[in-house]
């Protein structure tokens, strides 16, 4: 049977690892406030890759903003639609850097890309 000090050390180590892993996933400003981040399409990405990103992201997350009468349907730009779809996937999956990779075509930003009625979540 484990001693109470061994149990405490195991609990402490687990707590620290959870806190550290959570902190690594959430960027912060200097004052300790969590920074909101978004995933957008890299401007140098080709259209075929962005269309593939949209297809994948929309199969895994809510893309209603770029479908039907959503707030981001006004633009016919593949870059804009891909950014919205990629961000929906990124947000739904916990804002981890690897959820914005998209074969090197994603870019994480701290600047809100929302424009007019097109609001990024």
pLDDT digits (tens, 9 = 90+) for 52-99: 999 999 999 999 999 988 899 988 899 999 999 999 999 999 999 999
Q: What is the mean pLDDT of the chain?
A: 82
3-state secondary structure of 28: strand
What pLDDT score does 121 carry?
83
Query: pLDDT (tens digit, 9 = 90+) per residue, 17-45?
Result: 434 444 444 555 456 667 899 999 999 99
Q: How far is CA 59 from the centre of its chain?
A: 16
pLDDT at 51 over 80: yes
Residue showing tokens 């893309």? 63
Residue 121 CA to residue 118 CA, distance in Å, equals 10
């Amino acid at each position: 049977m484990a001693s109470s000090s061994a149990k405490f050390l195991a609990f402490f180590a687990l707590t620290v690892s959870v806190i550290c892993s959570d902190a690594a996933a959430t960027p912060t400003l200097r004052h300790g406030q969590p920074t909101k981040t978004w995933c957008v399409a890299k401007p140098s990405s080709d259209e075929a890759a962005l269309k593939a990103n949209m297809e994948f992201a929309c199969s895994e997350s809510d893309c209603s903003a770029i479908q039907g009468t959503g707030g981001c349907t006004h633009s016919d730009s593949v870059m804009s639609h891909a950014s919205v779809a990629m961000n929906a996937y990124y947000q739904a999956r916990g804002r981890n850097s690897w959820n914005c990779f998209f074969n090197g075509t994603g870019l994480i930003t701290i600047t809100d890309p929302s424009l007019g009625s097109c609001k990024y979540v």
